[in-house]
Amino acid sequence: MAEQNIPTVYNPGEVEDKWYRHWENNKYFAASVEKDKTPFCIIMPPPNVTGQLHMGHALDNTLQDILTRWRRMQGYNALWVPGTDHAGIATQAKVEEQLAKEGLSKYDLGREKFLERVWAWKEQYGNRITTQLRRLGASCDWDRERFTMDAGCSRAVLEVFVRLFEQGLIYRDYYITNWCPHCQTTISDIEVEHQDKPGQLYYIKYPAKDNPDEYIVIATTRPETMLGDVAVAVNPEDERYRHLVGKTLLLPIVGRELPVIADDYCDPAFGTGAVKMTPAHDPNDFEIGRRHGLPEVVVIDKYGKMNEQAGQYQGLDRWECRKQIVRDLEKMGYLVKTEDISHAVGHCYRCNTAIEPMLSKQWFVKMRPLAEPAIQAVKEGRITFIPERFTKIYLNWMENIRDWCISRQLWWGHRIPVYYCQDCGEITASLTPVNRCVKCGGQTEQDPDVLDTWFSSALWPFSTLGWPDKTPELEHFYPTSVLVTGRDIIFFWVARMIFSGLRFMDQEPFKEVFIHGLVLDSLGRKMSKSLGNGVDPLDVIESHGADSLRFMLITGNTPGNDLRFHFERLDGARNFANKLWNASRFVMMNLGDYDPAAQGEPYTLADRWILSRLQGAVSQVTDYLERYELGEAARVLYDFIWSEFCDWYIELAKPRLFGKTTPGDRITAQQVLVQVLRQTLELLHPFMPFITEEIWQKLPHRGETVMLAPWPTPDDRLHDETAEKEMAVLIEVITAIRRIRGEMNVPPGKKAESLLVAGDSYYRSILERNTAYIQGLANTQVQVLVALQQKPEQSAGAVTRGVEIFVPLKGLIDLEKELARINKELKSVQGELARVQGKLNNQGFLAKAPAEVIEKERAKEQELTMKVRALQDRLAMLS
């Protein structure tokens, strides 16, 4: 082959965009229905159209891309369907922010014009996240890209809603829900983030109506809600209050009469044992209130302000009302005491506003009939979670599931397809608009609310494949093969897809759920804007390349566990890419006369060893990928490429390439280098697609692209256990001699003598047959001995498997000078160790220092202790 013009330095910026355009333009990502092939399908968790690529996206999509590229190379009919979510709350908020800058609100435009603005925003900005995914290397079939509000997905949503409505599984009722005063909509329980906040517990007297001297003390964190109190509940077994059950208390300030009721919900050991009942503003009180037929008094409006039912406090913000009520209670003698506490407060996951539990009329899905088949599918093993521990989390949530509030008070989203007759009140759910009542012919009005965004994404595995039509894609690719997603949306999304798939497809939506953790910062904290600790993947791609980012996210990653982002690990991934590039460059620079058909000499021990190790790497990588241990697969490749191929085999092959042996030896070395490098690149391609394509294209190869090359399979004929055992002996010996030279400061240019003592004939034979390897790689003159009468003076030694090694140092180093140097270094290290141990023995330091600082000091202590021992060992050798 002609000699390649290969740049000395690998530049990701010059490579990545070029190859991605090539792949996409040539439709290498595209998948059509091929019934003679085994299907492999992944449906991308749709990122929000408002989104920008963050590290969670980068990890999630890297995992999916690795699996898709691997299966594609294995010959599967691999389809990765991309798409985006309309993100109801977030997208509407973006457009409302734009309008506010123009001095307008959505009400100024009206619903129709406002939605036109949102669609225009989506067209302008909605493809930002998919453009960024391309930079990461995502090999999706972009011709099949979907959007949760495109025509097909919208039709599926209407179909599902109407069917569930007709089956009696969707209903409308007054219920306590989570209300966000900022976003002006309900949100589901799992969209509420609970944050520990400092607060107060207020103890308030509720006097008896007939005897003002008798009272019950109530403890509450929200005194402003007492304006909506309608009863006081106690445990029927609580001796303190049993005589008051059925009697009447008076609500402080307001004067409303409150019955004392008995309910098992009340815990006598918690607080005062008595609970004020505010059914319109507390979910537990709501449930108790329904059991006892209590009235529901709403005192806080949808803006978080006190309404007309709050009397003299009307118009106050809920927090200001709290302060005023506490002042009034104290003035009137009802406030017993206040305690400072820390308690969990629910916040909106979108805007971080404190949630207000509020009574309102909403649409719900009955979950029990849908949850039961979804529970069985997992219990029977038709769907498996990886790692398995997430099965318990899923089942626990599903077995205790509450009905799902699906209505949202927004304009952007799938409008609820329900129509109300203005004359007779008939309610109709319909796939098409209903202008006239089907019962009386009167005018109708559509429900103003939209569906929860998760309602549409719950249908994603089959709506994206064409449902409700019976498409070839749906028949071929459903159920999908695996869902890859983060542990934080098992409830948001995974569970909903499972029960939706079972209900409407009579089949589970995927066979396996591969759960990954979160990407945290180096201190183990969640990345967030408020902490300012986020790392932009696009900045990393600019500085280090997409391959380095991908490889860093995969190495050390274990299923289900969180991953800490360290820039040092990112630098390590870039160094790995550079190592591969330099090794490949060396190989290609020595292929000017390469002839794959030429007859070379028989394989050497080094050839047989590297080819055997390659078969092991192929087996291990494939096995780890099958088990979703992607981090372990990456580790095997890293070790094989960096150490075995680059550090050992290439060095062992150099004398044969540089003409120090026969021409046949050069031919064989070239052929082995090409075979190993090419197959290694094919194994590495799913992990680092860009650099592998760039190098593979420059090597002798068959086919158009590495991404369509057949996935390597082990060749049993090349598995050579003997070669691996023999090379392991030689590698240990060479490493030991190199270590001695390094520790004893033997100048690199000086050739040392090495005495290798091997009493066992097996080990001695290996050494005698391969002295050239040892002499070349350890810069030493070797003597192989059966035994040694006396250790040479001034020598350093080591013991490896079956071999004792002695390196005489006389004439190589200045012994006195070296002893002085080691003693000086030992004294310095011992001093540093004493300083660290002093810190760790200081109770004041241990009490005040952050945990991560203490941990660093302990690690330093361990490192210094090992260094002291090593220096003492060197002194002992030289003495």
- Chain Cα centroid distance, residue 749: 49
Domain assignment of residue 610, given as a range: 565-703
For residues 601 and 651, membership in a common domain is answered with yes
Residue 762 falls inside a structural domain: yes
- H/E run at residue 88: helix 88-101
CA distances (Å), origin 673, targets 584, 611, 774: 9, 10, 21
Residues 609 and 682 in one domain: yes
Judge if 639 and 692 occupy the same domain: yes
pLDDT surpassing 80 at residue 141: yes
Q: Tens of pLDDT along 317-373?
A: 999 999 999 999 999 999 999 999 888 888 887 788 888 898 889 999 999 999 999
Give domain status of residue 572, yes or no: yes
Structure confidence at residue 257 (pLDDT)? 94
- 829 shares a domain with 747: no
Q: Beta strands of 699-794 (E only): which ranges? A: 752-757, 780-785
Residue 459 falls within a domain, yes or no?
A: no
pLDDT for position 188: 77
What percent of the chain shows pLDDT beyond 70?
99
Query: What is the C-alpha to C-alpha distance for residues 106 and 92, in angstroms, rounded to an integer?
Result: 9
Structure tokens that stand for 771 in this block: 């002295």
Query: Quick one: pLDDT at residue 4?
Result: 60
Question: In this structure, are 662 and 595 located in the same domain?
Answer: yes
**What pLDDT, on a 0 to 100 scale, did the predictor assign at position 212?**
79
* Residue ending a domain, choose from 308, 326, 357: 357
Q: Taking every pair of C-alpha atoms in the chain, what is the biggest distance, in angstroms?
A: 114
Give just the sign of the alpha carbon dihedral 770, 775, 778, 781: positive
Task: Identify whether residues 213 and 305 lie together within a single domain.
Answer: yes
Let me know whether 808 and 821 are in one domain.
no
Look up residue 44 and give its DSSP letter: P
Q: What pLDDT sits at residue 790?
A: 81
Q: What is the pLDDT of residues 407-452, one digit of tens each?
A: 999 999 999 999 999 989 899 999 999 999 988 989 999 999 999 9
- CATH code (residue 872): 1.10.287
- Domain finish residue from 339, 357, 375: 357
Tokens of 460: 């994603």
Percentage with pLDDT > 90 across the chain: 71
Write the pLDDT tens digit of every residue in 610-666: 999 999 999 999 999 999 999 999 999 999 999 999 999 999 999 999 877 788 999
Count Cβ atoms below 10 Å from residue 825 Cβ, excluding itself: 14
Give the distance, in angstroms, between the CA of residue 633 and the centroid of all CA atoms in the same chain.
Answer: 18
Question: Tokens 């004294």 sit at which residue?
Answer: 827
Give the contacts of 318 (CB within 8 A, at least 6 positions apart): 224, 300, 304, 305, 306, 356
Q: Are 106 and 432 in contact (CB under 8 A)?
A: no
Residue 623 and residue 673 in one domain: yes
List pLDDT tens digits, range 77-107. 999 999 999 998 889 989 999 999 999 999 9
CATH number of the domain bearing residue 613: 1.10.730.10
The pLDDT tens digits for 546-563 are 999 999 999 988 888 988
Average pLDDT over residues 378-400: 94
pLDDT reported for residue 819: 78
Instruction: For the beta carbon of residue 125, count every other beta carbon within 10 angstroms.
Output: 14
Is the pLDDT assigned to residue 1 strictly greater than 60?
Answer: no
Same domain, residue pair 279 and 302:
yes
Same domain, residue pair 697 and 734: no
Residues 821, 796 share a domain: no
Rounded average pLDDT over 46-74? 94
Contact 498, 374 (CB under 8 A): yes
Please tell me the number of Cα atoms within 13 Å of 781 on its side-chain side: 6
Q: How many CB atoms lie within 10 A of CB 266?
A: 22
Burial of residue 504, with CB atoms counted within 10 A of its CB: 0-12 exposed, 13-18 middle, 19 or more buried = buried
Asked, for residue 577, whether it belongs to a domain, the answer is yes
Residue 667's pLDDT band, with cuts at 50, 70 and 90, is very high
Domain count within the chain: 4
Beta-carbon contacts of residue 131 (< 8 Å; ≥ 6 apart): none
Which tops the pLDDT comparison, 795 or 764? 764
Q: Is 529 annotated as a binding residue?
A: yes
**Is 126 within the bounds of a domain?**
no
What's the rounded Cα separation, in Å, for the pair 364 and 670?
A: 69
* pLDDT single digits (tens) 171-216: 999 888 888 888 888 887 767 888 888 889 999 999 999 887 899 9
Q: How far apart, in whole angstroms, are the C-alpha atoms of residue 482 and residue 473? A: 16
**CB contact set of 660 (below 8 Å; sequence gap of 6+):** none
Residue 46: strand, helix, or coil? coil
Sequential DSSP letters for 266-315: --TTSTTSEEEE-TTT-HHHHHHHHHHT------B-TTSBB-GGGGGGTT
Asked if residues 836 and 860 have their Cβ atoms less than 8 Å apart, the reply is yes
Q: Are 605 and 729 in contact (CB under 8 A)?
A: no
Residue 500 lies in a domain: no
684-723: per-residue pLDDT in tens? Answer: 999 999 999 999 999 998 999 999 999 999 999 999 999 9
Instruction: Give the C-alpha separation, 190 to 249, whole Å.
Output: 37
Q: Is residue 616 part of a domain?
A: yes
Which of 813, 845, 864 is the last residue before a domain boundary? 813
Angle at 225 between CA 224 and CA 227, to 5 degrees: 90
Answer yes or no: do 683 and 831 share one domain.
no
Asked whether 274 and 233 are in contact (CB, 8 A), the reply is yes
Q: Is residue 286 part of a domain?
A: yes
The better pLDDT of the pair 279, 793 is held by 279
- Banded pLDDT at 879 (limits 50, 70, 90): low
Per-range mean pLDDT, top range of 391-400, 742-751, 860-869: 391-400
366-400 burial, b for 16+ CB within 10 Å, e for fewer? ebeebbeebbebbeeeebebbeeebbeebbeebee
Q: Look at residue 661 in the predicted model and tell me its pLDDT.
A: 76
- Cα separation, 708 vs 685, in Å, equals 10
